Amino acid sequence: MLKSTNSNGVSVYQVSGTNVARSLPDWIARKRKKALRYDVDYQNRVELIQDFEFSEASNKIRVTNDGQYVMATGTYKPQIHVYEFSNLAIKFSRHTDAENVDFTLLSDDWTKSIHLQNDRSLEFQIKGERYYKTRIPKYGRCLAYNDVSCDLYVGASSDEVFRLNLERGRYMRPFTIESNGGVNSIDINKLHGLVSMGLDDGTVEFWDPRAKQRVIKAVINDGSGAKGEITCVKFRRDALSFACGTSNGVSLLYDLRNSKPLITKDQGYGFGIKDIIWLDNTGAEVNNDLILTSDKKIAKIWNRNTGKPFAAMEPSVDINDVEYVPNSGMFFMATESIPMHTYYIPALGPAPKWCSFLDNITEELEEKPSDTVYSNYRFITRDDVKKLNIEQLVGTRLMKAYMHGYFINTELYDKVKLIANPTALEDEREREVKKRIEKERESRTRTAGAVTDTKIKVNKSIVGHLEKKFGSNVAENVVNDERFKEMFEDPAFQVDESNLDYQQINSGTALGGLKPLTAAEESDEERLEEEKNDEMSLDEQDEEGNEEDSEDEKAKMEAEEARKEKIRKRLLKREHERKLEEERKRKYLSHLKTLGGVTELDKGLTENKKKNLSFAEQVAIQRKKNQKEKMKKKNVRIHKAPSGAAEITFIPRGKSKKTRSSDENLQGKKKQIYEGRRRASKNTFRGM
């Protein structure tokens, strides 16, 4: 199974790398140690390229121009790996003396390459071995090869760009830049040969290799407010488009004819831009306006004209380099982890020819999205167990209890479901055909946000409740929401209101949405109705009086408006007092129930008397009962708070002291006080 993420409707599949295995339950993890054949994750793995990893981390990765090989460098020990796509395996691995900083391919395949090492050395690798090794004066940072003049440009931590001519076999006069820092990135335009250099001081210098001199120096302002370095520069395949990235995580796109950027894109994490890739040679024609920018946290693909995000690839480890496989939707990543990462985006282009099976896998995953939590297992509830008539399997190895249901093998579930309902496939096909026919019959002029009876096929009462409680706009949003759309279209989501459990949970709905009123509430409702009727009659009288006395119309209108406003305030006040009284009554009754007083109150009163008693009378009765209970206990008072706590007050009384005789008042004890007590001493004459 492939790990996938979906954003903006674009699926991104992680084929290899860290955390690509799906989560497994504990009972499978224990069996993994016993035998590999029982490991479900191992059985369902997708190993695109064998040994696509390094011992510790990978630094750089490049795909050859012929599209048949990929070369990568990593550590530890410092190594060079070459993988062959036709065999989907590693071709060879070669160790080096120092760690690789950057490398470039000189030939269309892997046979000729130049590697910049972190010990100030340049290694020339050929088919069988290391061909030649030379050193540069400063520590190198980047490489670029001009195949027209056979010049190799080496950017270093100095104010010079070293030039090594591979045709003559010697160093040429370096390019001297106007900066005290160094060169972080170099790129060459294939059409007019202009060389761009990103510098530490936040500027970009453009050099003409034919004239061996600087053309222009551009100051880049990324708008972040902080001075940053230019960490990456990249020309497009045309002659005018140019992109650069800063150490503040901002990418800027330029037209060489304009000094202002066409668009500025912030990566969002504040890390320096590592790679910029113009996605012009994708398999899909509609995606020719996309560009990829990556820092050590995330690689983002977005539209270079509007800045709208298209997709993103975010591994759980830091990114060192990103490489794109031309004419496809596949990307390779060199990261700070043992395995190198592989991502596949079907919307960007097809899978390469050497792994065309990825298209079949992703198509199946998109057509039949998995509803299970674990691979090869399906979660079913207890109701599903009853419907499938497999209660006898509960407690066996075939069904694993988990939360409110069970996990069952997918193959076993399909077989049991087919036995329980042999016509399930035919019914599903008929429902799908009917659904498509009804969709075609819908009117094209109907608005997308309208809540109509044809769209709401089930649970119409729920929609009516939403419109009544929250308004029609909320109901429309719920019905048209993709997450809840099936709830009002699929008959499988029909709510059975006649179910006993549903009626117990939603008692108000089961009774038609009406709840019985108490005697006090009925009397309050009647009083409010009478007052409203009085108000209406007053309004009618006001209208008749206004028609008869037209001369004092304004004065009477003001007086009557004031009187009506007074009546309305009185009604609102009474309504508010009624609600407060009900709230106090509810709290007090719940408090009495907590203390056990409601049971005693029910024993002393009949049902008719309880309805006629007011809230104040019930409070008085309860207070009398509490006072009687207090009188039973002498010198003890109990005060019960509304929160349920009790405060007990009592007067402590000491024991009465016994009077002693005149003999006992003397100093010392003359005889035993308590007669009949056995003496501890053996001298019986003592105390006589």
Structure tokens at 590: 């719940």
104-138: pLDDT as tens digits: 999 999 999 999 999 999 999 998 889 999 999 99
Q: Determine the pLDDT at residue 1.
A: 59
Residue with token string 């551009």: 218
The neighbour count for residue 490, using CB atoms within 10 Å, is 14
What pLDDT is attached to residue 7? 75
Please name the helix (run of DSSP H) or strand (run of DSSP E) that holds residue 599, with its range, or none: helix 597-604
Higher pLDDT, 319 or 409: 319
C-alpha–C-alpha distance, residues 656 and 532, integer Å? 73
Is residue 614 within 8 A of residue 520, CB to CB? The reply is yes
Per cent of the chain over pLDDT 90 is 31
Q: Could you tell me the residue range of the domain that residue 17 belongs to?
A: 3-367
Q: Tell me the average pLDDT across 193-205.
A: 92
Q: Does 271 fall in a domain?
A: yes
Cβ neighbours of residue 43 closer than 8 Å, sequence gap 6 or more: 37, 376
What tokens appear for 394 in the block? 């509960």
pLDDT at 684: 55
Segment 153-171 shows an average pLDDT of: 92
CA-nearest of 354, 486, 298 to 66 is 354
In the block, tokens 């990261």 appear at 335
For residue 191, being part of any structural domain is answered with yes
What span, in angstroms and rounded, lies between the C-alpha atoms of 493 and 319?
Answer: 45
- Decide if 171 is inside a domain: yes
CA 211 to CA 15: how far, in whole Å?
47
Residue tagged 């508010």 (tokens): 576
- How far apart CA 251 and CA 267 sit, in angstroms, is 7
Which residues are within 8 A (CB) of 465 and not within 5 positions of it... i.e. 6 or more apart? none
Q: Give the position of tokens 């790398």.
A: 17
Tell me: pLDDT of 411 over 70: yes
Give kind and range of the element (H or E) at residue 140. strand 140-146
Under DSSP, the state recorded for 658 is P
**pTM exceeds 0.75:** no
Residue 531, domain member (yes or no): no
Q: Does residue 424 belong to any structural domain of this protein?
A: no
Name the residue among 362, 276, 342 with its Cα closest to residue 70.
342
Contact 256, 242 (CB under 8 A): yes
Cα 132 from Cα 124, distance rounded (Å): 5
**Which DSSP symbol is given to 53?**
B
Q: Report if residue 653 sits inside a domain.
A: no
pLDDT of residue 544: 55
The single-letter code of the amino acid at 511 is L
Q: Interhelix angle for 553-595 vs 615-632, to 10°?
A: 30
What is the domain count for the chain?
1
Across the chain, what does the average pLDDT equal?
78
The CATH number of the domain holding residue 69 is: 2.130.10.10
| 124 falls within a domain | yes
Q: Over the stretch 24-78, which tens digit does the pLDDT of each residue have? A: 455 555 555 555 566 555 666 678 888 899 989 999 999 999 999 999 999 988 9
Examine the pLDDT at 666 and tell me if it is beyond 50: no
Residue 576 burial by Cβ neighbours in a 10 Å radius (0-12, 13-18, 19+): exposed
**CA nearest neighbour of 164 among 206, 127, 132, 205:** 132
- The pLDDT of 556-565, averaged and rounded, is 81
Q: Does 466 have pLDDT greater than 50?
A: yes
Residue 322 to residues 120, 299, 332, 334, 343, Cα–Cα distance (Å): 24, 8, 6, 6, 10
Domain-located, residue 664: no
> Tokens 């045709």 map to which residue?
167
Asked if 307 and 265 touch (Cβ cutoff 8 Å), the reply is: yes
The yes-or-no verdict on residue 602 having pLDDT over 50 is no
336-393 pLDDT, tens digit per residue, is 999 999 999 988 888 899 988 888 888 777 655 444 445 577 888 888 888 888 888 8
Q: Is 37 helix (H, G, I), strand (E, B) or coil?
A: helix
Residues facing 230 on adjacent strands: 246
Which residues contact residue 64 at a Cβ distance below 8 angstroms, ignoring those fewer than 6 apart?
Answer: 70, 71, 105, 108, 109, 110
Q: How would residue 183 be classed by pLDDT, with cut points 50, 70 and 90? A: very high
- Say which range, 94-103, 364-373, 472-481, has the weakest mean pLDDT: 364-373
Mean pLDDT, rounded, for 558-580: 82
Residue 670 has pLDDT above 60, yes or no: no
- Kindly provide the residue ranges of all beta strands, DSSP E only, lying in 577-672, ordered along the sequence: 636-640, 646-650
Between 173-182, 239-248, 618-627, the lowest mean confidence (pLDDT) is in 618-627
List of E strands, 297-365: 299-303, 309-313, 319-324, 330-335, 341-344
Rounded to 10 degrees, the C-alpha dihedral 531/532/536/542 comes to 50
Sign (positive or negative) of CA dihedral 291, 295, 299, 300:
negative
